[in-house]
Amino acid sequence: MDHEPAPREWTDVAAAQDVGEGLVRVDVAGEPVVLTRSGGVLRALAATCTHLGGPLDEGTVEDGCVVCPWHGSRFDLADGSVERGPASVPQPAYDVRETGDRVEVRARP
């Protein structure tokens, strides 16, 4: 799967209260992104698994990783790196911040 994170500018995507320890799927400039709080820290990754396109928002969060529901690939929420395959390509990660009561994301430079 080819992922090109967008946008380059901070983009409002969700109410802060809607993003908890679970997974929340949002649309960012036409791209699906999964948001979560891991240990109280906001994280954002592309929501489509780089292995075979599984919906990461339907997966689980375990030990700081998101686990794809289709084949069990594990991606580190901090940087999208592959912790366990079958995926061999990292998951695109986004910068994420809380501004007031909103969550904003942007593609990492």
Q: For position 46, which CATH number holds? A: 2.102.10.10
* Contact of 39 with 78, CB cutoff 8 Å: no
Evaluate whether residue 4 is within a structural domain.
no
DSSP secondary structure string for all residues of 49-103 = -TTT--BGGGSEEETTEEE-TTT--EEETTT--EEESS--SPPPEEEEEEETTEE
Evaluate whether residue 2 is within a structural domain.
no
* Contact of 11 with 18, CB cutoff 8 Å: no
The two tokens of residue 45 are 């990754």
Evaluate whether residue 6 is within a structural domain.
no
Domain count, the chain: 1
Evaluate whether residue 56 is within a structural domain.
yes
Domain span including residue 15:
11-107
Per-residue pLDDT in tens (0 to 9) along the chain, 109 residues: 445 556 788 999 999 999 988 999 999 888 999 999 988 899 999 999 999 999 999 999 999 999 999 999 999 999 999 999 999 999 999 999 999 999 999 998 7
